[in-house]
Amino acid sequence: MTSVNWSDFGHMAPELWLGAAFIVLVVVDLLLPNGSGRRLTVGLIGGLTLVSLLGALVLVGVGMAELEDKGVVSLFGDSYRIDGFSSVVKLLLLSGTAIVALLGLGEAGSDEAIQEKGEYFYLLLPAAIGAMMMASSGSLVTLYVGIELLSITSYVLVGLRRRSYASAEAAFKYVVTGGISSAFILFGMSYLYGVTGSIQLAEIGAALPQAVAEFEALVYVGFGCLLAGLAVKIAAAPFHAWAPDVYQGAPGAIASFLAVVSKGAALALTFRLMYTTTLFGGSWMAPDVRDDLFFALLLLAAVSMLAGSLAALRQLNARRLLALSGVANAGYLLVPIGLYITSTHSNNAAELLFYLTAYMMMTLGAFAVLSAVSRSSGHEELKAFSGMYYRSPWLAVAMLVFIVSLAGLPISAGFFGKLFILLGAAGAKSYWVVAVMVLSSVISYYFYFGIARQMLMRSGGPLEAGSERIPTGVPIAVVIWVCAAGTIVLGLFPGLLMDGVDAVFSFSRDFRP
């Protein structure tokens, strides 16, 4: 049995910090008087949640500085790994969660359907811990614990609007699909453990050649069930049917959390799982199985890109449109994982992390604008954006930035993200993937610019009825402009992030045992 010392817990300072903050916030919420005002609850607990997340960000940054001297830190018998890949992913996930908490500060107080204001914020902390565990998992056990911690808290967050029938329906659908996903993941794990005799990802990879020789069909079943379960978490087609309903019924900030943080954690987990086991684990002795599994990921990516883009063409609800946009973007994000490393292509991690960062900025910003627009108009249909340029020109400009980036037009963060992935696919000679990416992007122009058409070419001028300025509030305004600035900076200086990822990440160090 592996011994545990205090230094091990020091390396897990961000996760422990968030755990302690969660307990403190639960106690604070219980101690608040029953008659305490909405503003006090939202301001106090929301502010403390935001401070806790920022503190965890600082601790992750300190840990990354220590990694330069120590290299990979392996904890609990290699069940938990602190390396360059996990550290960069944690920075992204914590940043996304902090932006979601800030967005929640602008939403929770005015949403009468949310009775428990404190839960809206402090449940984000265990969800963030689960996402961080998924990024650092080195075994099937920690992998599953992270998935369930993120999932269970997300179920509660989706159903927080207790006075809303749509929220209750969304929570029920999310619990059912999440349970099915977890069942597939557990089933796949049981097969991998059965044929390899280990729960450690590195040991599973080392045992795969012999397992393929003796139980090839069972290896396919194990990985197939695992990938199907993770595809539900990523909202990749054809496992995406839950996403539009859940995003529409959940509170706005929670929908953005599912779109960015939950999806990002599942993608990071898929990346680590596939590269630790089937690429660097000795599977060169079973190249057919390796190629089939990575091809399955590319096929999943292609179906997601096309299904998400085509389904969004006839969508009139803005929240559901963003959900289907997330399905298409899940496909783009799966491409770097499915390409694996070849002699002509080795920038998989940088491509994934760059586009995940761009996707986080433009999606969270779009959700923030939608929050302001829907609160002003009372609905979330696309016609709520009518004449927005004439009423709130700067808000319309910010939304245009996000739309241009989501569509992948030059010069934007989304353009360079898609370009890097497309060039990587071309370098790996997966030309059919390049064709699907281009086709999906062209299709997406129609529905993305449907929003622009509403803002710029529809009624709602300054002299018309119902054309008053759209209020945002300070927290939502901060989210919008932080995301807009991040999207613009990534579009103008894409090399900053790509060089930064290359400086802290190495396949040979982070993924080899």
Give the SS3 label for residue 444: helix
Cα distance between residue 158 and residue 260, in whole Å: 15
What value, to the nearest 5°, has the Cα angle with vertex 445 and ends 353 and 434? 55
Distances (CA, A) of 322 to 6, 377, 409: 44, 18, 18
Cα–Cα distances in angstroms (integers) from residue 203 to residues 94, 157, 206, in the given order: 30, 36, 5
8 A C-beta contact, residue 445 and residue 451: no
Q: How many residues in total does the chain contain? A: 513
**Residue 407 and residue 487 in contact, taking contact as beta carbons nearer than 8 Å:** no
pLDDT for 375 equals: 85
Identify the CA nearest to 116 among candidates 45, 191, 19, 207: 45
Q: For the residues of 320-355, what is the DSSP string, one character each?
A: HHHHHHHHHHHHHHHHHHHH--BTTB--HHHHHHHH
How many other C-beta atoms can be found within 10 angstroms of the C-beta atom of residue 491? 22
Contact criterion met (CB below 8 Å) for 303 and 319: no
Query: What pLDDT is attached to residue 486?
Result: 94
Are 80 and 202 spatial neighbours (Cβ–Cβ below 8 Å)?
no
Q: Of the candidates 134, 125, 53, which has an alpha carbon nearest to the alpha carbon of residue 95?
A: 53
Report the sign of the C-alpha dihedral through residues 223, 134, 203, 509, in that order: positive
Q: How far apart are CA 355 and CA 415, in angstroms?
A: 9
Distance CA 52, CA 282 (A): 41
Q: What is the pLDDT along the chain (513 residues), one digit of tens a residue?
A: 455 566 667 788 899 999 999 999 999 888 877 655 666 777 788 888 999 999 999 999 888 877 766 678 888 888 888 888 899 999 999 999 999 999 988 887 677 777 777 888 889 999 999 999 999 998 999 999 999 999 999 999 998 888 788 888 999 999 999 999 999 999 999 999 999 999 999 888 888 888 888 888 999 999 999 999 999 999 999 999 999 999 999 988 999 999 999 999 999 999 999 888 876 655 455 677 888 899 999 999 999 999 999 999 989 999 999 999 999 999 999 999 998 777 666 788 889 999 999 999 999 999 999 999 988 888 888 888 888 888 888 999 999 999 999 999 888 899 999 999 999 999 888 899 999 999 999 999 999 988 988 888 766 544 344 456 787 888 999 999 999 999 999 999 988 888 888 878 777 677 766
The answer to whether the CB of 70 falls within 8 A of the CB of 90 is: no
Would you call 513 helix, strand, or coil by DSSP? coil
Distances from the Cα of 191 to the Cα of 137, 223, 228, angstroms: 19, 8, 14
Q: Tell me the residue type at 412.
A: S
Tell me what pLDDT residue 56 has.
92
**The two three-digit tokens of residue 150, written as one number:** 């993120």
Q: Which pLDDT does position 463 carry in this prediction?
A: 39
Helix axes 474-492, 348-377, angle to 10 degrees: 150
Radius of gyration of the chain (CA): 22
* Interior angle at CA 410, CA 409 and CA 413, nearest 5: 85
Q: Comparing C-alpha atoms, which of 324, 220, 201 is closest to residue 271?
A: 201
Q: What is the pLDDT of residue 30?
A: 84
Q: What's the first-to-final CA gap in the chain, in angstroms?
A: 19
> Residue 465 CB: number of other CB atoms within 10 A?
7
**Residue keyed to tokens 């803005």:** 318
pLDDT of residue 335: 95
Question: Using CA atoms in the order 187, 193, 195, 197, what is the torsion angle rounded to 10 degrees?
Answer: -170
pLDDT number for residue 301: 96
Dihedral of alpha carbons 261, 120, 46, 325, sign = positive
DSSP string, 38-83: HHHHHHHHHHHHHHHHHHHHHHHHHHHHHHHHH--EEETTTTEEE-
CA distance linking residue 134 with residue 84, whole number of Å: 14
Could you give the CA distance from residue 61 to residue 92 in angstroms, rounded to a whole number?
A: 11
Residue spans per domain, the chain: 286-513
Mapped onto helix, strand or coil, the DSSP state of residue 387 is coil
Among residues 443, 464, 483, 480, the alpha carbon closest in space to that of 386 is found at 464
Q: What is the pLDDT of residue 180?
A: 94
What is the C-alpha to C-alpha distance for residues 511 and 272, in angstroms, rounded to an integer?
7
Q: Match 């807009």 to its residue by tokens.
A: 484
Chain-centroid distance of CA 38 in Å reads 30
pLDDT of residue 284: 53
At 456, which amino acid appears? L
Note whether 160 and 111 are within 8 A (CB).
no
Q: What is the pLDDT of residue 464?
A: 44
- The dihedrals phi and psi of 409, each to the nearest 5 degrees, come to -90, 150
Number of H helices, E strands in the chain: 22, 2
The 8-class DSSP code of residue 381 comes to: B
